[in-house]
Amino acid sequence: MTRLVLATGNSGKLKEFRDLFGELEVVLSPQSEFFDEQAEETGKTFIENALIKARFASSLTGLPALADDSGLEVAALGGAPGVWSARYAGPSATDADNIAKLLSELGRATDRRAAFYCAIVGVRHPDDPTPLIGTGRWVGEIAESAAGAGGFGYDPVFLVPGTERSAAQLSRDEKRSRSHRGAAMRSLLPELPGWVSGALG
């Protein structure tokens, strides 16, 4: 069975990735099982940051690595918070801090269009010249207040079209079938079994 490291310490992301892997014979371990350091996310795009994190995790563990970089783009804020989504309210911001800043910045704006974006990158080793890359997008709107206890990040204020619910009010199955991360992983599925086999060496 192949062991992969997932370049995150976020338990919510780990659960989603494990769900998305389905029947693939892999053991997916979070990087927090191996080290505490964080990659310096200096990229200007989600793909660049995901690649930085994947190479960093692989270099410190000697294992094939998967990383994602995802965030929220809000039309009325010119695409912000974008790649700064996790640090929108500061380097040590909590999800609640980021949501509070987002709602404050957006105010009573009538244009509340938004989209989650996700890039997933896999590397077989730190210097892998042909990384595996998948992307996904989830379009919705920003609510005026938070609702729901599920999910993580901006899920409580992301209204899902056609449901009158936030992403934090969806079941895990519903979220997996609709989300940006689910779409990014599904875009990789045709290549993933071969990539996993190749990751064995």
How far apart are the C-alpha atoms of 177 and 181, rounded to whole Å?
9
- Note the pLDDT of residue 22: 67
Q: Give the rounded percent of residues in the chain with a pLDDT score beyond 90.
A: 65
Q: Are 176 and 182 in contact (CB under 8 A)?
A: yes
CA dihedral 113, 180, 39, 74 (to 10 degrees): 0
Q: Is the pLDDT of residue 12 over 80?
A: no
Tell me: the pLDDT tens digits for 129-151? Answer: 999 999 999 999 999 999 999 88
Q: Give the rounded percent of residues in the chain with a pLDDT score beyond 70.
A: 96
Q: Is the pLDDT of residue 1 over 70?
A: no
Task: Residue 13: give the domain boundaries.
Answer: 2-199
The total of structural domains in the chain comes to 1
The residue annotated as part of the active site, out of 68, 69, 128, 155, is 69
- Note the pLDDT of residue 133: 96
Asked about 36 being catalytic, the answer comes back as no
CATH of the domain at 14: 3.90.950.10
| pTM reported for the whole predicted model | 0.88
Tell me: the pLDDT tens digits for 55-92? Answer: 999 999 999 999 999 999 999 999 999 999 999 999 99
Q: Is the pLDDT of residue 3 over 70?
A: yes
Q: State the average pLDDT over residues 99-105.
A: 97
Model confidence at 37, pLDDT cuts 50, 70, 90, reads confident
Model confidence at 121, pLDDT cuts 50, 70, 90, reads very high
Model confidence at 11, pLDDT cuts 50, 70, 90, reads confident
Q: State the average pLDDT over residues 117-140.
A: 95
Q: State the average pLDDT over residues 145-170.
A: 94
Q: Is the pLDDT of residue 187 over 60?
A: yes
Burial 44-54 (b: 16+ CB within 10 A, else e): eebbbbbbbbb
